Each structure stands twice: as structure tokens, then as C-alpha cells.
A and B are shown apart, each in its own frame.
Chain A
Amino acid sequence: MSLNPARVAREFPSRYRLEAAKCAGCGHVAFPARLVCPACRGTKHTAVTLDPAGKVLTFTVIHVPPAEFKGQAPYVLAVVELADGVRVTCQVADVDPAAVKTGMPVSLEFRRIQEDGEAGVIAYGHKAVPA
């Protein structure tokens, strides 16, 4: 998937700042922000910033990666649940893959995720690290 600059930039609020949308009607927190609340279909939201602390719900060790991630394999990919119930899929970094366990406390950090060759866009986002 090419890293089109506009496409990368559109995701800045969630990937750079962990911005989510809290539904004014039911309080559900949607991450990334969306126009319609997935819990109640409400359309009024306030922006909130997520607490980066969470825990690993499930994970895998990717041995055969997509082309963009060839240099990183093997790497841990996990579903992480944050304090307010928001879930994200991201890598778990700075850890021996064999040491990752379900339930492990982690914290999301701002990291480089992908780059489009030597001259292209570098895309940043979050990876989880052991808390």
C-alpha cells in the first residue's frame, strides 16, 4: 500500500495524538474518531485524548510479514485494550517475542511504523511497549 502523503496526514489525530471521539449521547469512546457512534448512532461527539496505558488481549508473532514489514520480522502483533475500553491492533516493541503474555501491561508509544523507500513518506503511529 503506497504511503500517499494526504492519506498519512489524515490519520495524524489518531496516530500522533491518540485522539478519539466521545459520544455526547451515550459516552462511548470511538477510536479513531468517526462521524457515527457505533454504539448508539449518535452524531455529536467531543474530542478526547486516550490514556496510553493498556493490556494485551491476544497476540501473534508474525514470521511471514507483508512486504512493508520485511525488515521487522519476527515481530509481535497484538490487540491491546486501553483503560477506557478502546481496543487497538498494533505491534508490541522493545520485548523478546517469547516474553509476551496475554494480560501483559503495556503502554502505547509514538514510533515509526512504515517507510515508503528511501525518499518517500515515513509513517508514524503507535506501538505498545511493556509498561
Chain B
Amino acid sequence: MREVAIVGIGLSRWGEVWDASLRSLWTEAALAALADAGVDTVDSITVGCMSPGLFVGQEHLGALLADELGMPGVPATRVESACASGGVALKAAFAEVASGMADIVLASGVEKMTDVSGDECTAALATAADAELEVFHGASFPGLYAMMARAHMERYGTTREQLAMVAVKNHKHGSMNPRAQYRQEITIKDVLRSAKVADPLNVLDCSPITDGAAAVILAELSVARKLAKGRPVVKITGIGHATDAIALHSRPDMTSIPATTKAAQRAFAMAGKGPQDVHFVELHDCFTIAEIVVLESLGLCAPGEGGKQAESGRTALGGALPVNVSGGLKSKGHPVGATGIAQMVELATQLRGQAEKRQVAKARVGLAQNMGGTGASTVVTVVEVAS
């Protein structure tokens, strides 16, 4: 396999971007990434997007967006794995470069979520759960994660306050990220007093609805070195992907996410690294409980210890293992198909030393975890500064 590096990164505006369509958001991010890389064309394009058909009535995004970028003719494909669509788009692009099928690939993600009502948005997101076995009976995503939260609390003694501390930490991080959707700091009391959504989760335990896009340009390592222009070269050294049963109830242990564990093992094996080698993490905190369970499932803390990570300060900026210094999904926002790519943008920003106020000191190895549904699809990526 050839070595693969990230040579360009770009984000669109994130938030409730009422004046931008799916195609213009995506193009903003793609143009930013091309400019950052200093290239004007690519060999191939992958687009992660969960549900453009339901959100904006548009499928067939590959061709649509290649044309929008002024690159008709370039092979372009949309890939979908619910909220892991971005991660899977990254993996598809990585495979094209690593295999030699392409030298430079644009890997991207986008979701335009605010053109529909809240009810329609909830229904679109719910398609990532099992339609016949979960959604039919009245399940929502907050409800499914709430059931994971209760199971974790009852098994390990994780507290309601520990859940809140994840949101408090990620908002504090997000306050230092000018691109974050919600940049205000919040308190534990704010979280506990916010509206109930699905007991024990409140609205401030949940990531928001976001319009946004993200793009990275991947290149074969020798090409990447030529494009570096003095910047550190950021390599993707491991990428792992795994699946599981979609229905939460099908998993023997509802306090862990086995697909995340499998994907991490595959990514670590490819990178020749382990959890102890990771300096900072961007992970899929779609709900506060998710950050807790994912830290355990990645092997970054012992099972049952996830609730203590934010509480002790270990996962805050300045701690031993900063987690979601971008603000995470909670504060930065969660345009579902874009999230897996946006995590790569943050890892590269940190590894280049360009993260300003939220810069992780001595960051040389970063890990991203992006998942769909209640974790039935996970992509884990290890990214390092090339020596």
C-alpha cells in the first residue's frame, strides 16, 4: 500500500446557514481545501452525506457536486453510512490513493439539515436506526442513547453530573474555535436544568442540528511532500472500519460499542500504534454518553471509567489526553455527513500547529472516531506528523 497524506483542508460556514444550499456549502468547503492544498484539480471525489434525499430532495450527489466545482468528468461518488458517512468517504478516498488508482483525491462530507422542520429532521435522522424494530415502536436517537446511558449508569455508577461534564468541557473547547456553531460556555447546572428530551438525557446532552460541509485533499506521500511548502506533512497511518447490528437491543452489552473497538484495533494495527501512543482525540460525541462509552470502547480508558475522564480533567485541553478540542459535535456542530471529514480537518489543523487558542501542545499523533446510528458503523483513523 502507498502512504497517504492530508495536503489540504477546508470547512464551509457551519450553523443554521439559511442563505446556503447543500451544493454551495459543499463547494465552499471544497474550494477552501483545494486552495489550502495549492492544487486546482483532483483525480477523484468522494462525498459523505447521510440523507440528501430526505433533507433536500436530492440524490446523485457525486455528479452534481463535481459539476458544481467545475470538474465535470472527474469520477465522483456519494457514500452513505448514516453519521459515519464522512468517515467512510475518507476511507474510500484513502483506498484510491493507497492502491495507486489515484494520486490526489478530494474526500468530503456535507449535510444540509435546516431546510426541513424539526419533525422532518428527526424522521430523517431516525432512518439510521432499525425502522421495523426500533423506530416503529417510538424510538428516537436521544431515546436510544438514553437507554445506553441508563445501562452505563446502573452498571458502573456513572453519574448524571459526569454526563453533563462532557458537554461543559466540549463547550469550553468550542468557545476557542471560531468555526464552532455554539461558542458559549455552559455549566453543569445549565445542562441539568435544560429541557428533558429522553430521560436521563436533556437537550444540552445532545449535539445540535447543523448545516455544514468539510473537505480534505488526500495525496500520495511523495506528492504531498512537494505540496507541503514548509508545513508539517500529515499522514494517515491507520484507518479501520467495522459494523454491528443496527438495533441497540441486538448487542449483548449495551454499555459498549463493539464496532468502535474493532475499527480501532484495525486502525491501530495498520498504524503500528496503540491507545497509549495517542496524544489527542476527536470522537463522535453526538450525545454526552457517547463520549464516555467511546473512550472505553477505543481502549483509551478502562470499561466503566469513561465518566471520570471529563470529571478529572484528563480529557480537557491541557490534560493528559485532550478529547474534542474542536468543541466536538456538541459545540462545533454536527452536519451528520460532514462530521467524519471535519474531524480530519481538526486533526490536521492541530498537527500543523495551527489551532491557535485550542492548540494541543506537542501533538504528533491524533485519532478520530466517527460512528453512525448507535455505533453500528464506525471508522477510526490514526493521523501522524511525518518525520
Contact = CB atoms under 8 A, between A and B. Distances in A.
Q: What's the interface size class on A, roughly?
A: 20 to 34
A67 B137 CA distance: 12
Given A89-B249, A102-B150, A62 B198 contact: yes
A66 to B, nearest CB: 6
Contacts of A61: 196, 198-199
A58 B136 contact: no
Nearest to A11: B132
Judged by DSSP, the binding face of A is strand
A114 B197 contact: no
B138 A77 contact: yes
A90 interface: yes
B250 interface: yes
Contacts of B150: 58-60, 102
B132 A72 contact: no
Interface in B237-292: 245, 247-250, 254
Given A58-B151, A63-B198, A77 B143 contact: yes
Interface residues of B, number: 35
A32 interface: yes
A69 B250 CA distance: 24
Contacts of A97: 199
Contacts of B133: 32, 88-89
Q: Which has the most chain A C-beta neighbours within 10 Å: B133, B137, B201, B254?
A: B137
Interface stretch (B40-48, B73-81, B119-127, B185-193): B119-127
B39 interface: no
Interface string A116-128: 0000000101010
Contacts of B131: 1
**CB-CB nearest 6 A-B residue pairs:** A60-B146, A61-B199, A87-B249, A67-B119, A58-B151, A63-B196
